[in-house]
Amino acid sequence: MRKNIPIQNLPFLKSSKQIKPAKSLTPRPTRSTSTTRGTTPRPPPPIAELQAVQEYRVNLLRQECQRLETERAKDVSDVKNYMIKHNFPTRPFWPKLYCVEEEKISYCPNFKSATTFIFKKLLQLAPSGKYDKDSVVKLNGQANELARKEFKYLKKWESYQQFTEEGTTFMFVRHPFERLLSAFRDKLEDPEITGRDHNEYYYNKYGRRIVKIYREETNSITGPDEKYPRFSEFIRFILDKDYRYDDEHWIPYFMACSPCHIPFNFIGHYETMYWDIVLLADKTGLKQKWVDPHDYHQTSTNSEVVRSYYNQLDNETIIKLYKRYEIDFNMFGYTIDDYIGLNQQSEDTNQNQENNNTGDTTGNDE
């Protein structure tokens, strides 16, 4: 029998409201650029510790779902109006799931939260037998489409409830604000800044319209080409829209995967992706196929770069953005502590630099 470990003794958890890997367990940087950080995994902690963290995450999700349901049942006006206004899911959306019938695994993708990595893992279980560790390496954007071709819907919608309850049903999430930034940089930012190719689809669908509506100064640009939106403009666009019109890359998790109605029993975090894959493989008997540090490479946005974007937003905008994704924050244990006051910190830094420069000039004059 597995030994129960008091949750307060786990190095992963800073508090009961926040989930963070301890510094000693954070993957070590192997290469870096000005915008991203590559990581390679260290050996995972004991399975018992990973499992205890997993239980905490699942319980946190269930508690938040219960709270929302209880307050709605009590007709708490704010909650009820919020849920009605934003078309809060009232039933499971089974078509989002990718089901591997032989292994009894169900996966709901939250895009910009390790989806390509997970799809490549799933494809190694494809019924066609076309894929292995080597062949999935270069799939990237194709992995999503190929996975749907391999893992079709169950024969009856009525089968999903039992299938998900008896098997392993999982999703991966990421800090909502870092996910938003990742979506912006990948889909909408000036390619001269990111080094990526121009995304014609997203520019035509969103970018052109965002610039037309939210560009206040005609000479304010994101890079060499002024036709692309700025991050602050993207955020204003997000805040003005109802959830129902969100793109899959920034729709809230509670809308995308209806986690209060699908019986998820495993919640992975992008920030601890390798450790979570180790535990998931242990639970599903897939360690031989899935656990391989050499095929693992995670990139996350450099913290300095994250700050450079979010310090463009004042605290009022940060709070509004938090409110929009508040259910996700509560369900999955994230906070906005590191984002509050970034704009003021930036202003203070600039002021200190100006003061130092002024002091140096005076000294030279003397």
* Percentage of the residues of the chain whose pLDDT score is greater than 90: 59
pLDDT top residue among 58 and 362 = 58
Instruction: Give the pLDDT score at 82.
Output: 67
Instruction: Give the pLDDT score at 348.
Output: 53
pLDDT top residue among 344 and 351 = 344
* CA contacts within 13 A on the Cβ side of 261: 16
* pLDDT tens-digit series, residues 281-299: 999 999 999 988 776 655 5
pLDDT top residue among 113 and 225 = 113
Q: How confident is the model at residue 340 (pLDDT cuts 50, 70, 90)?
A: confident
Q: How confident is the model at residue 223 (pLDDT cuts 50, 70, 90)?
A: low
Q: How much is the mean pLDDT over the chain?
A: 82
Averaged pLDDT for residues 118-135: 94
Separation CA 163–CA 103 (nearest Å)? 11
Instruction: Give the pLDDT score at 319.
Output: 96
> Residue 100: exposed, middle, or buried by beta-carbon count in 10 A (0-12, 13-18, 19+)?
buried
Instruction: Give the pLDDT score at 226.
Output: 80
Averaged pLDDT for residues 110-119: 94
Instruction: Give the pLDDT score at 297.
Output: 56
CB–CB of 219/197 below 8 Å?
no
**In this model, does residue 362 exceed pLDDT 50?**
no
**In this model, does residue 361 exceed pLDDT 50?**
no
**In this model, does residue 23 exceed pLDDT 60?**
no
Instruction: Give the pLDDT score at 34.
Output: 42
Q: Which two tokens stand for residue 66?
A: 């219960």
pLDDT top residue among 354 and 270 = 270
**In this model, does residue 74 exceed pLDDT 90?**
no
Separation CA 83–CA 25 (nearest Å)? 38
pTM of the model: 0.82
Averaged pLDDT for residues 55-77: 86
CB–CB of 207/167 below 8 Å?
no
Nearest Cα neighbor of 176 from 301, 54, 13, 322 is 322
Q: How confident is the model at residue 10 (pLDDT cuts 50, 70, 90)?
A: very low
Taking CA atoms, 277 is separated from 50, 170, 187, in Å, by 10, 11, 27
* CA contacts within 13 A on the Cβ side of 69: 12
pLDDT top residue among 222 and 126 = 126
Instruction: Give the pLDDT score at 260.
Output: 95
